Structure 1
Amino acid sequence: MAGETAPAAGRDAAPKWSTLGNVPGKTGVMICGHGSRSQAAVDEFAVLAQKLPALLPPEWAVDYGYLEFANPVIRDGLDRLRDQGCDRILAVPGMLFAAMHAKNDIPTVLNTYAAQHGVEITYGRELGVDPKMIAAAADRIRTAMVQADQDGAVPYEETCLVVIGRGASDPDANGNVAKVARMLQEGLGFGWMEVGYSGVTFPLVEPCLTHAARLGYKRILVFPYFLFTGILIDRIYGFTDQVAAAHPDISFVKAGYLGDHPQVLATFAERVTEQVGEIPPPNCAICKYRTQVLGFEAEVGAPQESHHHHVEGQGASAPGSNVADCRLCDSFCTGECRLEGDPHHHDHDHDHDHGHGHGHHGHSHDHDHDHPEYPHAKHPHGPESARRK
């Protein structure tokens, strides 16, 4: 969490109990999702939330909510937990890595709610780089390799692994994608590995895949390190098809995203229960808001505020939620709309399913807050690469 604001939802807000079997009052669990304009993504997150209680103490109440776009919003889930008599709530970000949403936006919502209603809320870690998450990713990759081998076996050492992460204006989150990719490459024995991102940073999907195609491998396996489907998954698979069409001599294989893999569920459960241990693990270990990170030094001590109230609860069917609304995209969202006439084209963390076509997707950037300038906004393999050639 950034800054020195109310610690009710922060890493220093240690709970007043120490064992799972000795918890005073009623405990609630709040899963804080990002939200999406994709109804399928919202539905998949809800399924995960419904499966999680089986991995937690039966007396704990579990609910969920979204930061933006989708309903229910986080406050609604917290209201439902309080209605069930919960006076202590263990909140976790439903996200793979900690960037602005997990470090800033969600804690702001939780802090505000805790102060307004006098409820104790602690805030756990993101899923992060965890052996269970690596195992879930490896399972998805192995499955894709086995299915691809039905058309002719290609060994791992003759395959280039391309891992595509979300992409953020936070080098901590981006670096963790690269670490996961390396662990997958080394653990499975791929011949080579490249890392790309669906937005904000560099390299984006198309330049990453085009580069991988030059390396001379018989097969390129594309793995989106994402929890759920949505516009960005469509983007990853869409660019994969485009690059594959330009390189018919290379076999391109699309692996499935993580979804509700049992190891993902186990990691979520651990992120909840570890908050009631003797020493809850700290969140945001390498945080650009707390310490100087190369290239992002100016963001230390940035005020903690949520940037997503303007699209909270807007609904997955809001204007701009599908490619058919966009005059720039054909079969999938390329992200080009971010660049056209948008003074914030450096994208920050705003490439998260904000719709298509600036000016007709129902979202304006004229808010009462400022975003920090992403230092590599004009990198030729970053957001600028979305422009049509």
Structure 2
Amino acid sequence: MDEAVQGGKAPKYGVMICGHGSRSKSAVTEFAVLAEKLAPMFPDWPVEYGYLEFATPVIKTGLDKLREQGVTHVLAVPGMLFAAGHAKNDIPSVLNTYASEHGITIQYGRELAVDLQMLQAAGDRISAALAEADAANGPVPRSETCLVVIGRGASDPDANSNISKIARMLWEGMGFGWAEVGYSGVTFPLVQPCLEHVTRLGFKRIVVFPYFLFSGILIDRIYGFTDEVADAHPDIEIIKAGYLNDHPKVIATFADRVREILNGSNNMNCAMCKYRAQVLGFENEVGLPQESHHHHVEGQGVSAPGSNVEDCDLCDHFCTGACRLDAGHSHDHSHD
């Protein structure tokens, strides 16, 4: 972000955690808890948070709170696993606009990315699910178990490819017999066809792990399709691992991202970014302007349309994403 003149005075730092936002009350609550747990790691700096869309407080409100506490230099990080359009375009656009309007310095950190601590957190969630299944139903060798890692899915192929790397490292590191990758939306394969494919591979046990930070509509979708496939294949044990949430290693990685803004390497890996390089199939997106497309749903909160399955005529027990098959509305807002 652009540096602001601070009159020769030492800057007062503050930390801003920039979340995506969700229509799910539980997801919004979990993000707030994460921000609260991060605060003790920076006892000399105020820590605030805000959301890009749907939920409140919005990012601007969090920045306002930092300024009210005398902050002149904001260290902002995206509360996101990987760098796709929201981390690369939408959030920086909001931060740049705010810094320009209010004359403060905002430096922007990188996403959580593929990180050893994040892999350890993922491994813990998967191991806990396996241990519970072993206790309930008897042990199954990992060599006879297939791991399925489900990512969010994005319009950025570089971000999507990171899920494959996460899955591969968990596969080899934990000794599974096989691993597959699926996505909750936007790209392919989607959850249900991915799981149906895996049931034909001959494994006794399948463990489904959502590589997500928080709960929400998409977690409900992943678990809902998992239950449906499990019901259709009673001869296979299909278990659901927990998502990352506020695992201590996740909190530690967020803290690292804040510190490295001032003290370390703060570079996103842009080698395969579709906005900077001619990625196969995305050549026409090189050099697109950095701007936000989410003003129309900013701060709408859990009252936004589509927040509840009860209000949907297309879904019964969980959000299946069927509404996005509507060809008349090509921009997907059912993020969480």
TM range (shorter): over 0.9
Q: Distance in 2 between matches of 1:180 and 1:337?
A: 30
Q: Distance in 1 between matches of 2:48 and 2:333?
A: 26
Q: Distance in 1 between matches of 2:283 and 2:4?
A: 29
Structure 1 alignment gaps of length 5 or more: 1-6, 17-22, 354-389
Could you report, residue by residue, the CA deviation over 1:115-168 in whole angstroms, capped at 9, with x for unpaired residues? Answer: 000100000010000000000000000000000001111011100000000000
Provide the identity percentage. 69
Q: 2:287 aligns with which of 294, 301, 308?
A: 301
Give the corresponding residue for 1:137: 122
Give the corresponding residue for 2:152: 166
Aligned length: 332
Q: How far has the Cα of 1:39 moved from its partner?
A: 0.5
Give the corresponding residue for 1:319: 305
Divergent runs of 4+, >3 A: 13-16
Secondary structure of residue in 1 paired with 2:48: strand
Secondary structure of residue in 1 paired with 2:27: helix
Q: Distance in 1 between matches of 2:202 and 2:221?
A: 24
Q: Distance in 1 between matches of 2:5 and 2:15?
A: 13
Q: How far has the Cα of 1:340 moved from its partner?
A: 2.5
Which letter maps to 2:119?
I
Which letter maps to 1:36?
S
The answer on whether the counterparts of 2:4 and 2:104 sit within 8 Å (CA) in structure 1 is no
The answer on whether the counterparts of 1:126 and 1:271 sit within 8 Å (CA) in structure 2 is yes
Which letter maps to 2:86?
H
Could you report, residue by residue, the CA deviation over 1:277-296 in whole angstroms, capped at 9, with x for unpaired residues? Answer: 1x532124232111111111
The answer on whether the counterparts of 1:14 and 1:122 sit within 8 Å (CA) in structure 2 is no
Give the corresponding residue for 1:370: none
More helix by share: 2
Secondary structure of residue in 2 paired with 1:127: coil
TM-score of the superposition, structure 2-length normalised? 0.96
* RMSD (Å), alpha carbons: 1.7
Give the corresponding residue for 1:232: 218
TM-score of the superposition, structure 1-length normalised? 0.83
Could you report, residue by residue, the CA deviation over 1:143-198 in whole angstroms, capped at 9, with x for unpaired residues? Answer: 00000001111011100000000000000110001101111101000000000000
Q: How far has the Cα of 1:343 moved from its partner?
A: 4.2
Which letter maps to 2:266?
P
Which letter maps to 1:283?
M
Secondary structure of residue in 1 paired with 2:150: strand
Structure 2 alignment gaps of length 5 or more: none
Q: Distance in 2 between matches of 1:284 and 1:114?
A: 24
Could you report, residue by residue, the CA deviation over 1:287-309 in whole angstroms, capped at 9, with x for unpaired residues? Answer: 21111111111101001110100
Q: Distance in 2 between matches of 1:320 and 1:287?
A: 31
2:333 paired with 1:350: yes
The answer on whether the counterparts of 2:4 and 2:103 sit within 8 Å (CA) in structure 1 is no
Q: 1:280 aligns with which of 259, 262, 265?
A: 265
The answer on whether the counterparts of 1:26 and 1:87 sit within 8 Å (CA) in structure 2 is yes
Map 1:370-385 → 2, pairs under 5 A:
none
Map 1:1-389 → 2, pairs under 5 A:
7-8=1-2, 24-56=10-42, 58-150=43-135, 151-277=137-263, 279-285=264-270, 286-344=272-330, 350-353=333-336
Q: Distance in 1 between matches of 2:225 and 2:266?
A: 38
Q: How far has the Cα of 1:341 moved from its partner?
A: 4.6
Q: Distance in 2 between matches of 1:62 and 1:145?
A: 36
